[in-house]
């Protein structure tokens, strides 16, 4: 079992489920209730989101983050549209072409050294409007936290939102690690999402201690006018939705999300401090959330992976990605750093 359940730094998806989330299943696993989201627990979970973001929103629960992104984007685009994103964006790299297949939109990518978009980067794709031979840009999609572990400041989000809206476009945010961003920014969710001009948000929980379940939040209710059909057709309408909803209730109650994300981010800073002391390791991105990117001697990677899960980000540069999680311990980090020193 050690080889199956060994500790690692590959992904915050690899960690288990927080005990409070597991308890939430027991708390709602009583008797019968209405299926497909018409239950009291889903109502309570939606109410939690409205406490955070305001009453005039629409919230829909789905199983996974890719579905949240794909269906959210599908609901705000037409087949002839284009979606602008960073070349490292999850929707571009890690969703198996689903955004393009299900939206029928073209993804227009922008090279970004830190995973974040700026207006100047986006402008390269701002042409061909009204020209029937070109896909029409409609959405700017950003990730918060970015795929390179960097965090958008509210002002950066607002600048992109204002630019999008001034060009009759919308701003979508992939918030798979939204809690880690909130902790990094030391603010609530609303301040760098709705208040900063985001139109549609994929609100993640799986990477921060939930078992499964994500939310799609529409800050303009008109954008969600027929989303119930989009979700059903997209195979994301849970029959026993109370088990997703119960997790979100536990996740948002008493700032559970804040405690787990705070720990995860703190572990990443400790990991950064430990590996910076190793002369052969070069940190390549600022550590702003729960990811550490580093260049390491290529010869140690296979042997290190025999004992610890982690991903090689760029083989040509020997760049790796180490992710911390809500259950990462300082002992995990001490042993990991010691192993790197031993192999070097």
- Confidence grade of residue 15 (pLDDT, cut at 50, 70, 90): very high
Fold of 19-254: 3.40.640
Q: 132: burial class by Cβ within 10 Å (0-12, 13-18, 19+)?
A: exposed
Is there a common fold for 19-254 and 256-343?
no
Q: Per-residue pLDDT tens for 52-84?
A: 999 999 999 999 999 999 999 999 999 999 999
pLDDT at 6: 80
Show me where the domains of the chain are located: 19-254, 256-343
DSSP-assigned letter for residue 76: T
Report pTM. Answer: 0.97
Q: Is residue 247 pLDDT above 50, yes or no?
A: yes
* C-alpha 291 chain-centroid distance: 12
Mean pLDDT of 182-203: 98
Can you tell me the mean pLDDT for 236-254?
98
DSSP letter assigned to residue 220: S
What percentage of residues in the chain have a pLDDT greater than 70?
A: 99
Q: Please report which confidence band the pLDDT of residue 7 belongs to, taking 50, 70 and 90 as the band edges.
A: confident
- Residue 87 region, left (φ>0) first, then alpha (ψ -120 to 50), else beta? alpha
The b/e string for 248-257 (b: 16+ C-beta within 10 A; e otherwise) is bbbbbeeebb
pLDDT at 1: 44
Give the relative orientation of helices 256-276 and 330-343 as an angle to the nearest 10 degrees. 20
Say how far residue 301 (Cα) sits from the centre of its chain. 26
Tens-digit pLDDT profile for residues 285-322 = 999 999 999 999 999 999 999 999 999 999 999 999 99
**For the domain bounded by 256-343, which CATH number is listed?**
3.90.1150.10
Residue 138 CA to its chain's centroid (Å): 21
Does residue 5 carry a pLDDT above 80? no
Q: What is the pLDDT of residue 341?
A: 96
How far apart (Å, rounded) are the C-alpha atoms in residues 283 and 263? 21
The alpha carbon of 131 is separated from its chain's Cα centroid by a whole number of angstroms, namely 34
CA R_g for the chain: 20
Q: Phi then psi for 32, rounded to 5 degrees?
A: -110, 150
Mean pLDDT of all residues in the chain?
97
Confidence at residue 134, expressed as pLDDT on a 0 to 100 scale = 97
Residue 215: Cβ within 10 Å count: 24
């Amino acid at each position: 079992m050690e080889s199956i359940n060994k500790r690692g730094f590959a992904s915050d998806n690899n960690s288990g489920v927080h005990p409070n989330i597991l308890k939430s299943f027991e708390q709602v696993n009583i008797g019968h209730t209405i299926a497909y989201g018409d239950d009291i627990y889903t109502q309570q979970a939606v109410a939690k989101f409205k406490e955070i973001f305001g009453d005039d929103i629409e919230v829909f629960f789905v199983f996974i983050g890719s579905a949240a992104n794909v269906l959210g984007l599908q609901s705000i685009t037409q087949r002839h549209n284009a979606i602008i994103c960073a070349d490292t964006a999850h929707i571009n790299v890690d969703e198996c072409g689903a955004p393009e297949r299900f939206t029928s939109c073209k993804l227009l990518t922008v090279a970004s050294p830190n995973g974040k978009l700026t207006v100047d980067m986006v402008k390269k794709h701002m042409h061909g409007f009204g020209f029937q031979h070109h896909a029409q840009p409609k959405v700017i999609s950003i990730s918060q936290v970015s795929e390179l572990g960097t965090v958008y400041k509210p002002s950066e989000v607002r600048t992109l939102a204002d630019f999008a809206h001034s060009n009759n476009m919308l701003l979508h945010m992939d918030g798979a690690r939204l809690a880690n961003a909130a902790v990094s920014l030391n603010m609530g969710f609303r301040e760098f999402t709705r208040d900063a001009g985001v139109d549609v948000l994929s609100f993640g929980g799986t990477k921060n201690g939930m078992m499964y379940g994500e939310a799609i939040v529409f800050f303009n209710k008109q954008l969600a006018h027929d989303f119930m059909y989009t979700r059903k057709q997209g195979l994301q309408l849970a029959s026993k939705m109370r088990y997703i909803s119960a997790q979100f209730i536990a996740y948002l109650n008493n700032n559970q999300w804040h405690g787990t994300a705070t720990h995860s981010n703190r572990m990443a800073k400790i990991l950064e401090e430990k590996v910076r002391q190793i002369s052969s390791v070069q940190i390549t991105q600022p550590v702003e959330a729960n990811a550490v990117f580093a260049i390491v001697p290529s010869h140690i990677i296979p042997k290190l992976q025999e004992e610890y899960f982690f991903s090689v980000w760029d083989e040509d540069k020997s760049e790796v990605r180490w992710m911390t999680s809500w259950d990462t311990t300082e002992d995990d980090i001490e042993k990991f750093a010691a192993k790197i020193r031993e192999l070097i």
